[in-house]
Structure 1
């Protein structure tokens, strides 16, 4: 029995029928030439032999009576792989656009809380000859970093499918069966709450020091009169800041990672700054063409990892900062500087507050209240009426650094599929893979951003990169970067037509 942390459990309490709280990945796999056999059956057999390597695949939830405390993870001894791993085939012609639309639909449905919180889909029929794998798991059990750790144990680093030792039999002192007894659950809740309060008390001295250090960082970040302030107010209202439905849209792009790193270094930023500037320009163009771009700058909510080096635990260790997208600045060079300054200032404060932000704060008796408030927020006009704290969620997740293989096939692409929410209907997540590509996943409520509009925004992201490439170098004598072309794949999926772009309002 393993208690969820307060942060892990919050993803359960905030989940509503309109806001499934699972994260996902879309993988494209190049099969070896002449491969025989049923890939779906081979894949399912491989996962069956490795279930014990990742706890998220074998554990399920047990809720506390009356939701008085956080639920616990318990082992599930009866996992139905035919339910968790499914086979689908695309209709002809099997284009990438069809695959993205299918993934958007699969990402819309809630996971069954009576089972381990994950599903996998083996999708065949792509015109490229590749096999696609879509995987989703509840955010309560895994974040972007720990998901990457799970991938490392499920997939191989060579075409040869490695053999793993079988699981050891666990001798349990108590046989809990399908669910826990009420007495055991209440005892566990009280013990966990006592542990949380004790840890919180022990944290107070470190918390005081961290808050003081963060205050010093903020005071040093004060700008001179006339300069752009680093302190951010509330975000302006946009079409993305509304209540959403459970239906999703999804689009993806790939860009070469080494070229992006070189570009960031040349123009005085990082890959993360490049991503933020691309999103800033693309969103500003998208809204301006609809005459909905606010005069105030858009603000991005950016998750930041609190995980220490070498920590591979399967839980959430993340916080959130806000970054100025500077969409009110027309000049790309000045906008790029403003975005970089805002991002670095936010990360500096988080570094000092890390001991506090990672604290497991007990909320005994509150889970039922949080769930009720989440439902009220989504089904009322609050998301539309209250001032938004951010307009869009932009996340940058470090992915596997090496080439991966799945059941003998080489993984060519690794696209993230993430979570929109009430008041934040658009999520743009990027993930590096094998040190060679940066994969973008655009996930949104389909009512707010249709499939065609998601493809349109993806095109604007590519156009924004061309703007950044034209920026002057901050290094004396450095040559301009070569254009960053779309990342090549071994077998490129069939080309798709992008959604029609609306002309700018006169």
Structure 2
């Protein structure tokens, strides 16, 4: 049986109506001026022909008897394609802001767990740039997939399945019916129970072996640190400072997006001898500083970012989530942008060093007896008690950088112009900043709770301004540097 790993199941059990645990994205697609087809029908045909190439399209969950262990995946042979792929017309007059509000609303609702955990929404009526050829039509593809079913590796498999490198979709191999899929959800109670018990025993043995090392490494990652020179440049305390965004969230979302040239960010990184990810952290931290200043709030301690770190062994192609969470300082207590960037680099280097020692022993699966009701109870308690409003957070913001292709891709014959991630905020960490590189651009997707951050578009503008300032200061500080592309 195909059991959910402990980490996959955690995304499932932590879900509540206030905290949907699906990830998604908004792709802006361009149809040529001479296109006369029915794009919805093209998309349905495109996905139906390729469903066998990505497991997420056909797998659904079956719960274990009495929640003795985590659910299992089975194949769904009766998929209602019209349910999963939907047509939405953006109310005119369509603007960038109205499209973002629509995406936020679509992202607020839970996925149906009785079906495969994905949806696609074709957004018609998007605004078109004024310099586009007459007759050009833009459409949006908003998709959402449950995080229990999709991690970075699963995302790559999905992208390879549905995207093409030319406007003419490539020919794909026909679906081969899997013999074992005919059983679907016809497992008996005794068979499910026995499988769940054996799976728990094997994971208990693995966890017991690594527990001493894991405990020491966890303490090392949480322990307060300072810069090598003894200053507070990248200090991280046991917990992050409390901000207005570190509170209990509702099920309503706010979403904003923007893009910056990849080459400009690489130039900043090269001029300052830091990584591209350090640059992303710097503009995120400065953007949050400026946003909080507008709100009349100032954090004396440096803001901390939670960052996903892959623990996938080299060569591993399993589709289960294999990721851990680390923290780093955004050095927001340093006023000078270039000095702050260097402090961020020190903090990120320290975090990478710690995580490199953890990868080999970090578990992504662990015993799950009672986990479904225990973790679900914790999630419900967080919502009812609003404890996140009063306790200091583990980190202030989650920031994720997803590498993408540096070529133009096509979906069902339409050219993809940009692709903005739409991720997950949670209680105590009400802001998620995720970006993906695509075809010469860094596409940022900012998602939060509508109650905590109704003006999230202002943060997006502050981050764009912070990027421009950092570029100008870097060029001014290194006027003779060679920043030509390799």
Alignment of 1:240-259 (within 5 A): 240-259=245-264
Hey, what's the Cα distance between the residues in 1 that align with 2:127 and 2:225? 56
- Answer with 104-113 or 32-41: which moved more: 32-41
C-alpha separation between the residues in 1 aligned to 2:225 and 2:330?
Answer: 22
Question: What is aligned with 2:171?
Answer: 163
Contact 2:31–2:414, Cα closer than 8 Å, also in 1:
yes
Do the aligned partners of residues 291 and 66 (structure 1) sit closer, same or farther apart at CA in structure 2, a change above 3 Å counting? same
Q: Given the two structures, how large is their TM-score scaled by the length of structure 1?
A: 0.88
**What is the match of residue 100 of structure 2?**
100
2:456 alignment partner in structure 1: 454
Q: Which residue of 1 aligns with 2:468?
A: 466
Contact 1:221 1:345 in 2 (8 A): no
**Alpha-carbon distance change, 257 to 163 in structure 1, aligned in 2, over 3 angstroms:** same
Distance 1:139 1:326, change over 3 A: same
**Paired residue secondary structure (1:455):** helix
Assess, with a 3 A threshold, how the Cα gap between structure 1 residues 209 and 306 changes in structure 2: closer, same or farther: closer
Match of 2:287 in 1: 282
Counterpart-to-counterpart distance in 2, 1:249 and 1:231: 29
Q: Structure 1 residues 249, 219: closer, same or farther in 2, change over 3 A?
A: closer
Counterpart-to-counterpart distance in 2, 1:334 and 1:248: 34
Q: CA deviation at 1:294?
A: 1.7
> What does residue 53 of structure 2 align with?
53
Distance (Å, rounded) in 1 between the aligned partners of 2:238 and 2:220: 18
Matches within 5 A, 1:224-263: 224-226=229-231, 228=233, 230-263=235-268
Once superposed, what is the RMSD of the aligned Cα atoms? 2.6
Q: CA deviation at 1:67?
A: 1.4
CA gap of 1:235–1:221, structure 2 versus 1, over 3 A, is closer
8 Å Cα contact 2:264/2:471 also seen in 1: no
SS at match of 2:155: helix
Distance in 2 between the 1:335 and 1:133 partners? Answer: 37
What SS is found at the alignment partner of 1:353?
A: coil
- Seen in structure 2, the aligned counterparts of structure 1 residues 211 and 356 have a Cα distance that, compared at 3 Å, is farther
Q: Secondary structure at the match of 2:358?
A: helix
Q: Paired residue for 1:132?
A: 140
TM-score scaled by structure 2? 0.91
Contact 1:61/1:71, CA 8 A, preserved across alignment: yes
**How far apart in 1 are the matches of 2:62 and 2:203?**
19
> Do the aligned residues in 2 keep the contact of 1:298 with 1:391 (CA within 8 Å)?
yes
Residues of 2 paired with 1:226 and 1:158: CA distance? 53
CA distance in 1, matches of 2:217, 2:89: 57
* Correspondence for 1:184: 191
For structure 1, the 5+ residue unaligned runs are 482-506
Indicate which of 466, 481, 485 corresponds to 1:478. 481
1:390 aligns with 2:395: yes
| Equivalent residue number for residue 132 of structure 2 | none
- Whether the aligned pair in 2 keeps the contact of 1:472 and 1:480 (CA below 8 Å) is no
**1:327–1:56 distance in 2 versus 1, CA, 3 Å:** same
TM alignment of 1:330-409, pairs within 5 A: 330-409=335-414
Q: Deviations over 1:398-432 (max 9, x none)?
A: 12343211111111111000000011111110111
Q: Contact 1:148–1:400 at 8 Å: present in 2 too?
A: no
Query: Judging changes above 3 Å, is the alpha-carbon distance between structure 1 residues 159 and 229 closer, same or farther for their aligned structure 2 residues?
Result: closer
Q: What per-residue deviation string (whole Å, max 9, x for no partner) do you get for residues 269-328 of structure 1?
A: 111111111011110111112111221111111111223445443221111111111111
User: 1:295 & 1:221 partners in 2: Cα distance?
Assistant: 16
Q: 1:310 to 1:87 in 2, by over 3 A?
A: farther
Residues 230 and 345, structure 1, Cα contact 8 Å, conserved in 2:
no
Task: For 1:391 and 1:143, locate their aligned partners in 2 and report how far apart those are by CA, in whole Å.
Answer: 23
For residue 439 of structure 1, give the secondary structure of its aligned residue in structure 2: strand
The 8 Å contact of residues 234 and 331 in structure 2, kept in 1 or not, is answered as no
